[in-house]
Amino acid sequence: MKSLKESVVSVFGLGLLGGSLAWRLVETGRVRDVAGWSRNPATIAEAVERGVVTKGCSSAEECASLADVIVLAVPVRAMEGLSLLIRGSARKDVAVFDLGSTKVEIGAVLSAIWGERYAGFHPMAGKERGGLENASPDLFLGSVCAVVPFPATRPEVASLAGELALALGGRPLKIDADEHDSAAACISHLPLVISAALSLLAGDEMENHPSLPALSAGGFRDTTRIAAGPAWLGADMVAGNGLQVRRLAEEFKRILDDLLSSPVAELESRLAAAAAARERILSLKEERTRD
């Protein structure tokens, strides 16, 4: 298996994540070439024109045939079908990574298709707005990139995923699929559901309280920011990690009921504990990112 520096990386899906990944690799010269494919020919043309990829491919099969490394940056629901389409065109020693935000279910599917050549890869970075127009070569700088090997994954493939994380300006974190999805449910997927629910509630309340938009400020903006993201991406997150999200949603409702029923002194104490828990999590993240 080639090193990343010697590899042609083929990126399937040139939206926010795929476009940012490809652009970073082109800009830094950390790989030999970057090929790109999108189901939208206009996106391919734009990616070539802006220098996001070094070669645009007219078919997924062509893109796969060029690759030493395949990066699946399409919606999770499209990964199985795309993999079955391109598997016959790919080299026998190709490494395959997916950028999906869930890993247990889709990882098992992709591992069955690609076998020892596959490992999960999830850079913990993003924006509210998707699409190539919002891509940036700096998107992953300083981010943790989860490397998720499966039982069949060759060690060299997991190692190459670590190289990719470093090439993006991130830090690799090797983690198993169950742990990844449990943690992601708490810090990414459930927050999306809560943000969406609050946005829907505010939309309903606005009908009876016309002054609501004028009164909305930082609290509403910050807590609903992630509800502005692509709906297909959020749906894939929740659908692909439903058991964990539902488990945590039940616990969240219990804590919410507990807070609302607490006497004022106890409520103040719980809110202080919440602030301390948040600070501890963010401090530990910062410390581990520096290590």
The sheet carrying 171-174 orders its strands as 55-56, 33-37, 8-12, 69-72, 95-98, 118-123, 144-148, 171-174
The predicted pLDDT at position 286 comes to 76
* Cα separation, 94 vs 8, whole angstroms: 10
Exposed e or buried b for every residue in 236-249, given b needs 16+ CB within 10 A? Answer: bbbebbeebbeebb
What are the per-10-residue average pLDDT scores of the chain (291 residues)?
95 98 97 98 98 98 98 97 98 98 97 98 90 96 96 98 97 97 97 98 96 97 94 93 97 98 98 97 78 57
Is pTM beyond 0.85 here?
yes
The predicted pLDDT at position 220 comes to 97
Residues 6+ apart with CB under 8 A from 203: none
Helices 177-184, 242-260: axis angle to 10 degrees equals 40
Q: Determine the CATH number of domain 4-175.
A: 3.40.50.720
The predicted pLDDT at position 128 comes to 80
Q: Determine the CATH number of domain 180-260.
A: 1.10.3660.10
Indicate the burial class of 202 (C-beta count within 10 angstroms; 0-12, 13-18, 19 or more). middle
* Cα separation, 72 vs 11, whole angstroms: 6
DSSP per position, 155-177:
HHHHHHHHHHHHHTT-EEEE--H
> What is the location of CATH 3.40.50.720 in the chain?
4-175
> What is the location of CATH 1.10.3660.10 in the chain?
180-260
* Dihedral angle of Cα 126, 131, 133, 139, to the nearest 10 degrees: 20
Any idea what DSSP says for residue 140? T
The predicted pLDDT at position 136 comes to 97
What φ, ψ does residue 147 adopt, rounded to 5°?
-105, 120
The predicted pLDDT at position 289 comes to 62
